[in-house]
């Protein structure tokens, strides 16, 4: 891939006690499209009058939400019922062609139907899979989410809920889950709380039957349907949403998964992945991301220029660096440094994943098709260009070249995160360690030379953590393993990216 952005591997949504459950799930998934673009699916729960039993119809396919659900009749004739779960999936190349990997999964189980949508990676998936294989279990998918279904169905516990709890006690790693039974919507966050998951509500909790309740990876999905954010699903929490709880003003049963490794929410969600208009881990992403930019301004401000020079401009690599760049430019101004926030790079939003870029230098053409410069702004200026992270660096290098070709007097690169030195094993898709730009050079100066910039500065790990804790006063800890190689939950470092493709 030419322009490697770290990718989330899923967005999840659930609706309960809601006459428009599937439709709201569709809108929620659309708001969560950035968390996965390979495939999308919805499973609902309803009672089949002809069969006289509860059923879980599903509709899923490869593609974006708006393309998969392009026929309104799907919601009127198929995805019926007052409860639904949905899933957007991003997958790395190998597994993406396997249709059976598209979530949510549904199984018919001795205690009823069970639907599941998962965001994350299980770190003990290989061990569990080997155990099942030895017992002769047949797998239908190459996703480690299926393991949760097998663990549930093979549990010796009595009730459906106890079987699910038994399954959850055996998995490790990163998982935010929504599970749909014939009577419940169950929302789960792993004990470390790697991935975000929030609870929302629509309607009056005191009305007969109570309000409708929702869970979503990010709160922007609630905004889409007019629901209000109630709270986060806590790290290690199993929240059981049922009709009784809805009728009692949202008084739901909640259980705790024992914690072995503390809490380590993914700091990369704040750096890059989540939308700035979402609240995750209890705080608005916009606020945290601005604070990250401010911290970088204190560590590596804009260069000072002489009075007779034009005002230096600070430009983001759009769109993901927009918010942190605003924070950076404003803080530099507060520090008395002459600079101005500008939009010097314009992004074309219509470059799909299937873009082929025929011709000799396909990589460069891909970058040029995605970004263009605003030449009038850049000519004879000191330009400070900012991105949220550099993973492989190929895009950054082309962008620097484009800025120079547009007449920038000097180009200074600022990165609102530390150097990415290690892959993620908790639900984000990274290249292998050797492919990470930071591992190919001794220090930032050497990287800067390769990029062709006049100066390069990354935010320090301490600076990042200071910014995040400063903006979000919660006590919970964070994972920053991709910047430090300190993995909060043990991982098998010998697992290659290709083996990870087995996983969700
Ligand atoms: S390794 Fe990085 S991307 Fe993965 S969970 Fe930790 S902070 Fe997030």
In a domain, 481, yes or no: no
What is the β-pairing status of strands 340-341 and 283-284?
A: unpaired
What's the gap in Å between 429 CA and the centre of ligand 1? Answer: 10
Integer-rounded Cα Rg, in Å, for the chain is 24
269: which 2 tokens?
């969600």
Tell whether 260 and 299 lie within a shared domain.
Answer: no
In whole angstroms, how far apart are CA 29 and each of 40, 46, 118? 8, 20, 13
Q: Scanning the structure block, which residue is given the tokens 């009823």? A: 112
Q: Which helix (H) or strand (E) holds 320?
A: none
Is 339 assigned a ligand-binding role in the annotation?
A: no
- CA of 375: how far to CAs of 20, 251, 312, 391, 400, in Å? 49, 58, 14, 27, 13
Tokens of 127: 């061990």
**Residue 260 half-sphere exposure toward CB, CA atoms < 13 A:** 10
- Looking at the domain assignment, is residue 49 inside a domain? yes
- Determine whether the shortest distance from the Cβ of 271 to ligand 1 is under 6 A: no
- Give 389 Cα–ligand 1 centroid separation in angstroms: 13
End-to-end CA distance of the chain: 20
> Quick one: 86 and 195 in the same domain?
yes
Ligand 1 in reach of 341 Cβ (< 6 A)? no
| Residue 230 and residue 358 share a domain | no
Q: How far apart are CA 252 and CA 183, in angstroms?
A: 13
CA 378 to centroid of ligand 1, rounded, Å: 35
Q: How many whole angstroms separate alpha carbon 263 and alpha carbon 194?
A: 8
Using DSSP bridges, classify how beta strands 410-415 and 455-458 pair: parallel, antiparallel or unpaired: parallel
Which CATH number covers residue 92? 3.60.20.10
Domain count, the chain: 2
Beta bridge partners of 228: 201
Distance 146 CA to ligand 1 centre (A): 23
| The model's pTM | 0.93
Residues 342 and 216 in one domain: no
Domain membership of residue 446 as a residue range: 287-475
Residue 238 structure tokens: 């199993």
Give Cβ neighbours of residue 292 (< 8 Å, ≥ 6 apart): 270, 271, 324, 327, 416, 417, 459, 464, 467, 468
For residue 124, what pLDDT is reported?
A: 85
Question: Which atom of ligand 1 lies nearest, measured to the CA of 269?
Answer: 8
Tokens of 379: 């000519």
User: Do residues 230 and 352 both lie within one domain?
Assistant: no
Output the pLDDT for position 330: 98
- Same domain as 334, residue 243: no
- pLDDT value, residue 3: 44
Residue nearest to atom 8 of ligand 1 (CA): 266
Q: Is 148 in the pocket of ligand 1 (CB under 6 A)?
A: no
If 0-12 CB within 10 Å is exposed, 13-18 middle and 19+ buried, where does residue 359 land?
exposed
Length of the chain in terms of residues written: 504
Q: Tell which phi-psi region holds residue 263, choosing left (phi > 0), alpha (psi between -120 and 50) or beta.
A: beta
Same structural domain for residues 25 and 92? yes
Active site residue 10: yes
Whether 369 has a binding-site annotation, put simply, is: no
Q: Is the CB of 482 under 6 A from ligand 1?
A: yes
Is 151 contained in some domain?
no
Residue 273 CB–ligand 1 contact under 6 Å: no
Per the domain annotation, does 302 fall within a domain? yes
Q: Which pLDDT value is given to residue 353?
A: 57
Domain holding 295: CATH number?
Answer: 3.40.50.2020
For residues 410 and 22, the answer to whether their CB atoms sit within 8 Å is no
Is 167 inside a domain boundary? no
Is residue 486 domain-resident?
A: no
The strand pairing partners of 181, in sequence order, are: 114
Three-state secondary structure call for residue 376: helix
Instruction: Give the closest residue to 28 by CA, choosing from 197, 158, 195.
Output: 197
Residue 136 within any structural domain of the chain: no
Catalytic residue among 10, 246, 332, 339: 10
Same domain, 47 and 185: yes
Q: pLDDT by residue for the chain (504 residues), tens digit each?
A: 334 565 557 999 999 999 999 999 999 999 999 999 999 999 999 999 999 999 999 999 999 999 999 999 999 999 999 999 999 998 643 455 688 889 999 998 888 999 999 988 888 888 898 888 888 888 888 888 889 998 998 899 988 889 999 999 999 888 999 999 999 999 999 999 999 999 999 999 999 999 999 999 999 999 999 999 999 999 999 999 999 999 999 999 999 998 889 999 999 999 999 999 999 999 999 999 999 999 999 999 999 999 999 999 999 999 999 999 999 999 999 999 999 999 999 999 887 655 566 665 777 888 888 999 999 999 999 999 999 999 999 999 999 999 999 999 999 999 999 999 999 988 888 888 999 999 999 999 999 999 999 999 999 999 999 999 999 999 899 999 999 999 998 887 765 544 544 443
Given a contact cutoff of 8 angstroms between Cβ atoms, the answer to whether 199 and 231 are in contact is: yes
> Sign of the CA dihedral 430, 434, 435, 441?
positive
Question: Ligand 1: which of 418, 464, 482, 493 to mutate, judged by most atoms within 8 Å of the beta carbon?
Answer: 482
Residue at a domain's end among 231, 264, 297 = 264
């Amino acid at each position: 891939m030419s322009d490697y952005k770290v990718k989330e591997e899923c967005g999840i949504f659930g609706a309960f006690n809601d006459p428009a459950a599937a439709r709201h799930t569709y809108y929620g998934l659309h708001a969560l499209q950035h968390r996965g673009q390979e495939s999308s699916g919805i499973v609902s729960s309803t009672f089949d009058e002809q069969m006289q039993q509860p059923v879980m119809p599903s509709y899923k396919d490869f593609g974006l939400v708006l393309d998969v659900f392009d026929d309104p009749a799907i919601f009127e004739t198929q995805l019926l019922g007052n409860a639904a779960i949905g899933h957007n999936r991003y997958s790395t190349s190998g597994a993406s062609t396997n249709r059976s990997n598209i979530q949510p999964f549904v199984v018919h189980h001795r205690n009823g139907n069970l639907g599941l949508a998962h965001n994350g990676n299980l770190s003990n998936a290989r061990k569990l899979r080997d155990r099942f294989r030895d017992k002769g279990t047949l797998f239908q998918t190459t996703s480690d989410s299926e393991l949760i279904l097998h663990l549930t169905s093979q549990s010796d516990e009595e009730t459906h809920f106890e079987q699910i709890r038994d399954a959850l006690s055996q998995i490790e790693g990163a998982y935010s889950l929504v599970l749909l039974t014939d009577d419940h919507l169950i929302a789960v966050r792993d004990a470390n709380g790697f991935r975000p998951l929030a609870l929302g509500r629509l309607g009056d909790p005191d009305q007969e039957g109570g309000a409708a309740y929702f869970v979503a990876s990010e709160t922007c999905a609630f905004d889409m349907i007019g629901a209000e954010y109630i709270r986060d699903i806590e790290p290690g929490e199993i929240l059981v949403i049922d009709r009784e709880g809805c009728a009692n003003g949202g008084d739901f049963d909640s259980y705790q998964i024992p914690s072995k490794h503390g809490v380590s929410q993914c700091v990369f969600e704040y750096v890059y992945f989540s939308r700035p208009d979402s609240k995750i881990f209890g705080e608005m992403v916009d606020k945290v991301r601005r604070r990250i930019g401010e911290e970088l301004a204190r560590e590596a401000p804009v260069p000072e220029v002489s009075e007779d020079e034009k005002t230096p401009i600070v430009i983001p690599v759009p769109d993901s660096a927009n918010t942190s760049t605003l924070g950076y430019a404003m803080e530099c101004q507060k520090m008395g440094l002459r600079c101005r926030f500008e939009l010097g790079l314009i992004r074309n939003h219509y470059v799909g994943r299937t873009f082929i870029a025929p011709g000799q230098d396909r990589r460069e053409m891909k970058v040029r098709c995605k970004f263009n410069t605003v030449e009038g702004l850049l000519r004879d200026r000191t330009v400070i260009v900012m991105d949220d992270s550099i993973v492989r660096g190929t895009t950054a290098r082309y962008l620097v070249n484009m800025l120079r070709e547009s007449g920038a007097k000097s180009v200074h690169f600022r990165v609102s995160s530390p150097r990415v030195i290690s892959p993620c094993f908790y639900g984000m898709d990274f290249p292998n360690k050797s492919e990470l730009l930071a591992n190919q050079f001794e220090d930032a100066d050497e990287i800067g030379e390769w990029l062709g910039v006049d100066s390069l500065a990354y935010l320090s790990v301490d600076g990042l953590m200071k910014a995040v804790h400063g903006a979000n006063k919660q006590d919970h800890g964070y994972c920053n393993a991709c910047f430090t190689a300190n993995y909060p939950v043990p991982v098998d470092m010998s697992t290659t990216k290709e083996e990870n493709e087995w996983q969700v």
